[in-house]
Each structure stands twice: as C-alpha cells, then as structure tokens.
Chain A
Amino acid sequence: MDLLENIINDSIRFLSNRGYQEALSNAISNSEARFFNMLKRHGNIKELAKEVEETKKEVLSSIDYYIDKVVDSFKAANGVAHYAESGKDALEIIDKIIGDRKRILLSKSMTCEEIGLRKHLQQIGKDVWETDLGQLLIQLEGGKPMHATAPVIHMTLEQIIKLVRSKLGMDVREDESPQDIAGRLRVFLREKFIKSEVGISGANAVSADTGSVFLIENEGNIRLVTSLPPLHIVLAGIEKIVPTMMDALKLVMVQSSYAGLFPPSYINVVSGPSATGDIGHRKVYGAHGPREVHLILLNNGRKEANKNVFLREELRCVRCGNCQIFCPVWNHVANTWGGKVYGGPMGVIWTAITEGIEIGSEISQLCLGCKRCDLACPVEIPLSSIIHYLKTQFRK
C-alpha cells in the first residue's frame, strides 16, 4: 500500500473516533472565535504581521549571511553555535554536547519532533521528559503532536484521564477536573525539573544582531527548561532567524496572536549563558541559570526549499497553526493528514521541505483546493497555490 492510501486509512480511523471528533470540533470553533476577537481587539497585529512578512523575506533572500551573523552574535554572547546540515547531524551534535549526562527535559518543539529527538535520546538510554503538558501526553500516548501549538487538541478529558492512569500509574478519578490533572502533572514534573541536567528547547525566533533566542509560552515550563538545568541546548530551523531583537519581538507577538494565545503569559529571551560579575569582579558563568548554552541551526531541506519558487514562501511560516484551524480537512483528521511530523496545510508543505517533494506531493492530493487556509495566514503564504504546485509533482 502506498503512502497516500495509508494516510486515507489512518484518517478514516481518526474520523471514526468520536472522542477525537468531538474534541477537535469544540477546540476549532473556540479557536476561530478567539481569532476573530483578537483581530477586533488588536487591530495593529495585522500591521505587525506585514512587517514580519517583510523581514522574513529579507532574511531568506540572504540566508547564508544571516546564518553567519547569528553564529557570530551567539558566540559574542558567550554561547556555542553549531550548524547542522541534516536531522542526523543535529542528533550527533546533541549527543556530543550531552555526553554522559542522563536526565534531560524537553520543551515542546516541532523542530525537535522533526529530527526525532525524544525517541533518539530514549533509544540511547537517556531519561527524557517532555515538560509541556500537552506534549507530555503525546509522549505518553506514543503518537505525534496533532497541531502546531496545541499537540493534544484531539483528546477529550476522558481520554486524557485514561492515558494518565495507564501510563503514569496515577490513581486519577473519573470526575477529576482539568485543574486537578494539571496539578498532578505539575507535581510529577517538579522533581524532574530539580534533578535535570540538560534542557532542550526550540525557538520561535532568533535575532541576528544579538544572537538572542525568543520563546513564547503560557505554561511556564519553557522558563524552567531553559533556566534550571546547567546546560541548555536550543534547536532552531534556519528560517527562525530575523534581523533584530525588535523583529523577534514583533514576530512572537504575531505568532501568539494568530495562535490564539495573545498576550502570551511569558516571553523568554535567552542571550547566552547565565553569568554574574558580583563575586570578586570576575565573570562567573552559571549563577542561577545554565552555565553553558548551545544553539544548533538546522538546515534539513530548508536551503534547498529556499531555491524553489513555491516552497520558499513557506519558510516565512511562524508556526501559528491557524491554517490548520481554518482547514476543513484538517478539522476532521488533524495531523494524520501529513508527514511524519507536520500536518494540515502548513504541514503538507513542511513535509515536502523536510521529507522531500515526492512525499509532500503524495500527501497534497487530499487538499480540497478551497483556499480557506490562505485567509488564515498572518504572513500571507499562498498555501493553496503551493499545495497545488505539489499536486503537479505527483506523477513525476
């Protein structure tokens, strides 16, 4: 059976799961409403989005220059910068940095998913935990995240209770509230935070002028992952680069707005390791936060895509997931319509970028061509045209 047929079969299974359908449908109508409210309340976001679109285009037109600039700035901020050609290279670099350290925490990152980081670390015997609660549930389930920012958008409370019971052996009662369960998971993870040796995060944006990594979140787990362990590793696709810190701030504002999470509870900015000069006027690293910070810039198909007139447009994606919320197909099958990691409109294209055009073109066939996704995108990516281009590559 070929890939497309597999996807169709998976999607039929997903379609017939009442819980999934119910959870998705509720989440989607809430998200849509939040999106329209956001546009009403923060009219200036559209202007910011336009600026983000332009700065992203600028970076993509001189990507090598900007990669060098980030590397220099990150070094200047006393961090260690790396460049990984492929997912495999990134894993090797991470293995080397981690060495014998064992206890590792992850913050939700699609780019980490893209290179299969968690599974890899587990395979080589590390003790790895996701710290974003949604992503932790995905880890327990053994599946893949179903949305760019809301990984368990497809699970009902009932399904979550079952999962936590069976996988963590917790004695969760059927009538427990989301608040109760969050409390339990918080306690479960607390101890892991204290003992952790390595924290690995993604990035929402990396500014070239200062080498600063921007990360937004609501849970507060990213704060802890990036500050409690003595070693912090950042994995970022090269498309996350923006020219300045100000551009990065604008980008995270736009991203969180279109993801329906504006204002985000936390905006984290990391520029190099934690340091103090208070003791004897000498600079010491690792005061309260990490002593060592690494940034790995990942290519994995992005530079190649940047040369393709259609695919390059997707590289300015800020991963807000709004196109998924807008898509009728995704509304029913979530990321089962997609590649190994990415799904929905953005995901078909990201699959083509990271897994190859052949695979992307096969998946693209399920697109309705209704063009609703085009309306969703803050940075005006012509999603439906790119997907149509992928369709034209199907037989080649």
Chain B
Amino acid sequence: MKVKEIMRFMADMTLRTGFPVPVPRGFSYKWAESYGFNRKGEVMLYTGALYQLVPYIESLSAFLKSIERSDIGAFLALRTASHLPAGLLAGLLPEPDKKLVDFSNKTLKSIADLLIKNGVEFSYLYEDDIYSGVLLYDMGLVEEFGEHAKKVYSRLKGRGVKKVITVDPHTYSILAKTYPKFIDGFSLEVTSYMELIKKVTKKVTLNSLTIHDSCIYARELNIIDVPRKLLESAGYSIVEPRRNREYTFCCGGPVEMLSPSLASAIADDRMKELSEKSKNIVTMCPICFINFYRIKHRYKGVEIHDVSSLI
C-alpha cells in the first residue's frame, strides 16, 4: 500500500510538474544562470535534472522515513499533497543538504566548462531541462513514463535538437534505449559528455584512485574504457576494485526508497571493496555518489569524486 502510494505520488508529480519530487522553481538550471548559453540549436545539453534532483530526493526520503513509523494516513496525505503547488510542497520537506546542492551545481559547471574548453558547441534548455522520467520507467509505471517522455521529446524537438549531450548514465540510457520504444519516429543522437572530451583540463591532485563503474554505463551502454582513458590521460593511476568493468557491483541506490537498510548494506559492500584499493573513489552517476556519500562517515579518510571534477 505504502509503496503504491509513493509510486503514485512520484508519477503524479512528474506528470504535473516535470519532476518526481517537490522542488523549488528554477532549481534545475540555477547552475547555468551565469553562462548565457544559446537556448536553441542542434546540439543540446540535456541534464535530465538527475544531479540537481539528488538533494531533493534525499529530503523526500528523509521525510518518508520520518513518517514510516506513523500511520498510513501520512501516505494518504502525501497523495493529497501531490496536488498542491510544487513550490509550496517543497517548503513542507526538510531543507536539502547544502553540500549536496553545491555538489550538483559544481559538477554541472565543471562538465559545461570541459565541453567549452574542448570546443564543443552546444545550447542549453534552461526551464525546459526537466526530468527524463527514468524512475517511473524503472518502477514499471510505463504508461505515465510514456506520457512524460513525449513531453520531454517535444520540448527537445521544439528547440531544433538533433543531438543530445547527457551527463549521467540513467538519462543517457533511457533516452537512447527506451525513448525510441515509446516515441514514433524518434530521431535524436544521444551521447555522453565524456565521449566528447578529447583533452582533459585538470591536473592530477591525488595519488591513486579507484573507479566505481556505473551499472548502466558498464552493462547497458558499454561505457567502460572512456572514463578510464580520460583519467589516465590526466595522469591518474587507477586501481581496479575486485568487481569491475561489466561485473561492477551496484551502489544500492535504487532500493533506497523501499528499504534504506538494504540500500545501505549494499553500499557498504561496495564501499568496503573500493576503499580497500584507494581512499579516493570515482563515481560517474549522481545516484552512486549520494549512496556512498551517505555512508562515507563510516570510512575514515575516504573521499568520493565525480569523474568530471578530476579531468
């Protein structure tokens, strides 16, 4: 019952506001305010707001945990709440962790800077940079997902887009592999920013690092060597964890909403084997980042880095 209520809530929110959880207005493109990107063009940066959403998903799950012990009425209240204006609703949730908000803004900026320094010309969607709907699809809410995907697709097409640059594995995969099944005549080329970087711009700051392949990059998109080559060309030496490349091990993130203790046990497994190899762990997905970030305090001296911050 509870699970169905949460799913319903996220689907309603996505269809109504473009995002699966309550968020303040403009949160998805705040990072880009200072850039003044073109708003139209054939090559478009589409973040799908996953990095930006992470702090707010975190707030929602904290909220859910706090009402988990209370009665089912709270979940029904959630259902009613999903009809309130999003801004108002966002105010009901705990303030997002400022460090996390900074992390996502910083990451997106460093990705944009990398692209710019590599001479990649691209435009940005600003207020049309809405969620891809991937969570709805993953939860099996395919009808709602299909409806939302059509909206995203028409916004992209409305701006004359032919090629999309993505910044995380989930958005990449859902666009490249799943959208075509839901949208007649789908015609977008999808790529990752990492695939467009020819020269790295940052200098080595750490001795060694270990790499946590994202499940989706490694097993669905075969993006395995790309981040390694980038890190190596920046001069890093990479120590592979026990389970690596296509055999990489999940961070546990996807079950966080259903069972936080299970998610954290899985994250611990992975953290253990990663931190055995190096105190510096590289992620390339905001979900992996947050899941490790949450338990980081249990591992002395361990730091989690988004790959974009090192190259």
Contacts and interface: CB of A to CB of B under 8 A. Distances in A.
Interface of A: 2, 4-5, 8, 11-12, 15, 21, 25, 32, 328-329, 331-333, 361, 364-366, 368-372, 374-375, 388, 390-395
B77 interface: no
B259 A372 contact: no
A381 to B, nearest CB: 15
Interface in B222-257: 243, 246-250, 252-255
Contacts of B255: 329, 366, 368
B84 interface: no
B271 to A, nearest CB: 13
Nearest to B247: A375
Given A15-B261, A370-B250, A375-B247, A332 B138 contact: no
Given A370-B250, A372-B219, A393-B140, 5 more contacts: A15-B262, A364-B140, A375-B246, A388-B138, A391-B138
Interface of A is mostly: helix
A368 to B, nearest CB: 4
Given A15-B265, A371-B220, A365 B254 contact: no
Nearest to B252: A328
Contact of A388 (B140, B246, B261): B140
Interface of B: 1-4, 7, 138-142, 215-216, 219-220, 243, 246-250, 252-255, 258-259, 261-262, 265-266, 269
Contacts of B215: 368-372
Interface centre among B3, B246, B248, B269 (most CB of A within 10 A): B3
A324 to B, nearest CB: 15
B266 A372 contact: no
7 contacts: A15-B261, A364-B140, A366-B255, A372-B247, A372-B248, A391-B139, A394-B4
A332 B140 contact: no
A392 B11 CA distance: 13
A329 B248 CA distance: 14
A372 B246 CA distance: 8
Contact of A375 (B219, B253, B261): B219
In order of increasing CB-CB distance, the 8 nearest A-B pairs are A391-B140, A370-B250, A392-B140, A370-B215, A368-B254, A328-B250, A371-B219, A328-B266
Nearest to A389: B140
Given A375-B219, A395-B4, A11 B259 contact: yes
Contacts of B243: 32
Contacts of A365: 3, 139-140, 258
A364 B2 CA distance: 15
Nearest to A11: B262
Contacts, number: 92
A315 B68 CA distance: 38
Nearest to B137: A388
Interface centre among B138, B243, B248, B250 (most CB of A within 10 A): B250
Contacts of A331: 266, 269
Contacts of B2: 5
A8 B266 contact: no
A372 B250 contact: yes
A15 to B, nearest CB: 6
Nearest to B1: A2
B262 A372 contact: no
Contacts of B250: 328, 368, 370, 372
B220 A394 contact: no
Contacts of A391: 138-140
Given A391-B139, A391-B140, A395-B4, A332 B265 contact: yes
Contacts of A364: 140
A374 B220 CA distance: 11
Contacts of B249: 328, 370, 372
A369 B252 CA distance: 10
A369 B220 contact: no
Interface centre among B250, B262, B269 (most CB of A within 10 A): B262
Contacts of A11: 259, 262
Contacts of B247: 372, 375
A390 B138 CA distance: 11
Contacts of B7: 394-395
A365 B2 CA distance: 12
B267 to A, nearest CB: 10
Nearest to B254: A368
A361 B4 CA distance: 12
A167 B2 CA distance: 39
B3 A4 contact: yes
Contacts of A374: 219
Nearest to B145: A392
Interface centre among A25, A370, A395 (most CB of B within 10 A): A370
Contacts of A4: 3, 258
Contact of B262 (A2, A329, A370, A388): A329
A365 B258 CA distance: 8
A365 B5 CA distance: 13
Nearest to B248: A372
A327 to B, nearest CB: 9
Given A393-B140, A394-B140, A8 B259 contact: yes
Contact of B258 (A21, A366, A393): A366
Contacts of B253: 368
Contacts of B3: 4-5, 365
B254 A369 contact: yes
A318 B173 CA distance: 31
A372 B219 CA distance: 8
A2 B139 CA distance: 18
A23 B139 CA distance: 31
A290 B146 CA distance: 60
A328 B141 CA distance: 23
A332 B1 contact: no
A329 B7 CA distance: 20
